[in-house]
Amino acid sequence: MKLKDLEVFVVKNPPPGWGGRYFIFVKLTTDNGIIGYGEVYSASVGPKAMEVIINDVFERHMMNENPENIEMMFRRTYSSGFTQRPDLSIIGAFSGLEIACWDILGKAHNRPVYALLGGKMNDRIRSYTYLYPMEHHDISKFWTSPEMQAESAMEMINLGFTAIKFDPAGPYTARGGHMPALTDIELSVKMCAAIRDVVGTKADLLFGTHGQFSTAGAIRLGRALEPYDPLWYEEPVPPDNISSMAKIANSIRIPIATGERLSTKNEFFQVLKEGAASILQPALGRSGGILETKKIAAIAEVNNAHIAPHLYAGPVEWAANIQLAVNIPNILMAETILTGGGFSGNLIKNKIIWDDGFIVAPTSPGIGIEFDEELARNNKYNENRLHLEMQDEPCDYKNSNTFAGGASD
């Protein structure tokens, strides 16, 4: 059995666009006709350029290879161009292709991927979601409204979630870490207070940031949040500043989570080595794929750290995250986009079961989905913007700041 053909789908995510503007899926076909699907989570270059990269990685390192030889294909890609270091775009491309290889192998053996990784450890995976506007909410005001966010939080609790994430401390700027404005600290505290007031101990609070603060600024904000006992404080400084993240971890009483913008075991190892985080959030469409992320989980296990796979992408990466989560002992929870339905769910014909706050371990072969190629082709993304974009303007210390929850426009 050898890898023969590749097809790339760049799929527009309809409004409101939770999960990003578009998703990049790959389809691999073997010479004996077995098909596997994967997803590339890479946002550094536009989708047209990324499609070229995906094709190059496949043709250069994977075509005509046995899909079982994942370790060899990873080492070829990782060493490409004499680099032997993590590269978000190259490893992102490989990650999606690697997931497709596992989908092929599972189908070839008529077993779920987790059965090939060591079997089932978990029958159900605890699930969490961001808070998103309800139908009657004003979407432009939702992100800075503690009352609306608290109402959305209660709705998620009623659905069965036991952990919810929110992100009131923007902005995200291309300028790097900044000192938070007093208004941003105030809003963050009010948001935590309002949500904690309505959910009580029914749900953990997950405080989302995306590397927007300086070290001192992150500590300052973190200490203001401590009375509300968040389960984690996510990526408080830029991901390339591991020693600064370690200083924050040692300065506040909230666990630090990080990993959505990291790639391969090499980067995650440095986080653990520095004591920068106790919760790792690999996104399998970027972190190196399923096998590489199992290695990350093993390194985390011996460091007494948890894994909480990240998801701000499409449903194929979600499916891969779940296969890993079913297999590993140190899973904390896995991110979903609400309950995994809507357009994303339709793309995989709603084959993943979300039930009362948990994801049920799939039993179908491969990664457990049925990909709807017709729906993907009918929703082709034809623009060339990035999956997510940061603003050029700095933090506003006079007027309020806001971040529109990653919605497409």
Q: Give yes or no: residues 34 and 91 share one domain.
A: yes
Based on the fold, state whether residues 233 and 102 are members of the same structural domain. Answer: no
Domain C-terminal end among 347, 366, 385: 366
Q: Of 112, 139, 156, which one is at a domain's C-terminal end?
A: 112
Inside any domain, residue 386: no
Give the strand pairing for 163-166 and 204-208.
parallel
The pLDDT, as a whole number, for residue 108 is 98
107 and 126 housed in the same domain = no
Per-residue pLDDT, 248: 98
Q: Does pLDDT of 277 surpass 90?
A: yes
Co-location of 67 and 152 in the same domain: no
Q: Are residues 188 and 284 in the same domain?
A: yes
The structural domain count of the chain equals 2
165 and 100 within one domain: no
DSSP string, 41-73: ---SS-HHHHHHHHHHHHHHHTTTS-TT-HHHH
Q: Work out the burial of residue 220: count CB atoms within 10 Å of its CB; fewer than 13 is exposed, 13-18 middle, 19 or more buried.
A: middle
Asked if residue 399 is part of any domain, the answer here is no
State the pTM of this model.
0.97
Q: Do the domain assignments include residue 371?
A: no
On average, the pLDDT of the chain sits at: 96
Spatial CB neighbours of 158, under 8 Å, sequence gap ≥ 6: none
Q: The domain containing residue 23 runs over which residues? A: 3-112
Judge whether residue 409 has pLDDT over 90. Answer: no
101 and 151 fall within a common domain: no
Does 145 lie in the same domain as 93?
Answer: no
Does residue 144 sit in the same domain as residue 102? Answer: no
The verdict on 210 and 91 lying in the same domain is no
Assign residue 207 the CATH number of its domain: 3.20.20.120
Whether 78 and 208 map to the same domain: the answer is: no
Assigned domain for 398 exists: no
- Whether residue 356 is contained in a domain is answered as yes
In a domain, 387, yes or no: no
3 state SS for 286-323: CCCCHHHHHHHHHHHHHCCCEECCCCCCCHHHHHHHHH
Give residue 402's pLDDT band: very low, low, confident or very high (50, 70, 90): confident
What are the residues facing 6 on neighbouring strands?
28
Domain boundary among 68, 91, 112: 112
409 lies in some domain? no
> Tell me: the pLDDT tens digits for 302-315?
999 999 999 999 99
Residue 387: Cβ within 10 Å count: 24
Q: What is the CATH number of the domain that holds 107?
A: 3.30.390.10
Q: Are 245 and 256 in contact (CB under 8 A)?
A: yes
Rounded to an integer, what distance in angstroms lies between the CA atom of residue 61 and that of residue 80?
9
Residue 399 confidence class, pLDDT cut points 50, 70, 90: confident
Query: Residue 402 domain-assigned?
Result: no
Q: Dump pLDDT digits (tens) for 7-28.
A: 999 999 999 999 999 999 999 9
Question: pLDDT tens across 74-97, in order?
Answer: 999 999 999 999 999 999 999 999
198 and 257 in a common domain: yes
